[in-house]
């Protein structure tokens, strides 16, 4: 703790999942701001890397996940973060305009993540946004074109195609396998499987696993 203006101010800790050096450098530079004491712990956009950094993650004030390169892997990290540290607020970073599409962003919204950023903000603006996310606010500081914004938030999206992992998950659910068994089959933790099934259930408007199995039958996955 240190004092500023007669008040004690704690260190603001950022847990950053990013593979690109430019993103890491940008967030590392935030620690040099005189206006606040900021530290950044960086790990690869991999759930296993996040688990290796679990001690720093548990002490973090906010998490930032770069989803520009591999949104699916980034979503896995978000889901594991939720299991490890349910109270940690998370923002998703899309640095490339072409990467921030309804298809890539919708799964994060379905998973309950409402904060999105890009790197068009200044360092000071980024810190303000991150502090707001840490307080529990949903922050949208991401440049989207009108069509993408309408598709994401206007409820006018067309049904998205299911990924190969979604189809595999549907088939295994229809076979009556447990989360642990599916996790072993797909080389994922049962916590991740649980969140993926819940996300898939919401996307398919299914009330339970039986209705998900019916979807698998309708798609001829059995």
Taken in order 203, 207, 210, 215, the sign of the CA dihedral is negative
CA separation for the pair 145, 149 (Å, rounded): 6
How many residues comprise the chain?
A: 222
Q: Is the pLDDT of residue 156 over 50?
A: no
Greater pLDDT, 54 or 216: 54
Instruction: Note whether 29 and 123 are within 8 A (CB).
Output: yes
Contacts of 187 (CB under 8 A, 6+ apart): none
Q: Is the pLDDT of residue 159 over 50?
A: no
CA separation for the pair 210, 176 (Å, rounded): 9
Instruction: Note whether 81 and 88 are within 8 A (CB).
Output: yes
CA separation for the pair 102, 116 (Å, rounded): 13
Burial of 117 (0-12, 13-18, 19+ CB in 10 A): buried
Tens of pLDDT, residue by residue over 68-81, are: 888 889 999 998 89
> What is the model's pLDDT at position 3?
41
Confidence (pTM): 0.65
Contacts of 141 (CB under 8 A, 6+ apart): 116, 117, 118, 121, 125, 129
Q: Is the pLDDT of residue 1 over 70?
A: no
Residue whose C-alpha is closest to residue 200's, from 189, 185, 180, 214: 214
Tens of pLDDT, residue by residue over 107-129, are: 888 788 889 998 888 888 899 99
Domains of the chain, first to last:
8-153 (3.40.50.2300), 164-218 (1.10.10.10)
Greater pLDDT, 155 or 32: 32
CA separation for the pair 128, 144 (Å, rounded): 20
What six digits make up the tokens of 10? Answer: 């704690």
Tens of pLDDT, residue by residue over 168-213, are: 999 899 888 888 999 999 888 888 888 888 888 888 878 788 888 8
Q: Is the pLDDT of residue 34 over 60?
A: no
Residue 132: phi and psi, rounded to 5, are: -65, -40
Q: Bridge partners of 93?
A: 66, 117
> What is the model's pLDDT at position 17?
95
């Amino acid at each position: 703790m240190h004092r500023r203006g007669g008040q004690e101010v704690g260190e603001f800790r950022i847990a950053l999942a990013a593979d690109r050096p430019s993103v890491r450098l940008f967030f590392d530079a935030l620690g040099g701001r005189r206006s606040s004491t900021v530290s950044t712990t960086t790990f690869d956009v991999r759930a296993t890397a996040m688990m290796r950094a679990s001690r720093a993650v548990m002490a973090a004030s906010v998490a930032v996940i770069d989803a520009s390169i591999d949104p699916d892997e980034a979503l896995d990290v978000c889901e594991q973060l939720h299991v490890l540290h349910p109270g940690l607020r998370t923002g998703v970073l899309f640095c490339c305009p072409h990467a921030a599409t309804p298809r890539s962003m919708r799964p994060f919204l379905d998973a309950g993540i409402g904060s999105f950023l890009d790197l068009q903000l200044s360092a000071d603006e980024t810190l303000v946004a991150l502090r707001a996310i840490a307080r529990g606010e949903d922050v949208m500081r991401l440049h989207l074109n009108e069509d993408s914004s309408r598709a994401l938030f206007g409820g006018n999206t067309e049904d998205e195609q299911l990924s190969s992992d979604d189809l595999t998950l549907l088939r295994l659910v229809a076979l009556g396998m447990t989360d642990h068994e599916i996790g072993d089959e797909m080389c994922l933790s049962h916590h991740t499987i649980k969140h993926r099934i819940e996300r898939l259930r919401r996307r398919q408007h299914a009330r339970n696993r039986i209705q998900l199995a019916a979807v698998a039958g309708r798609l001829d996955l059995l």
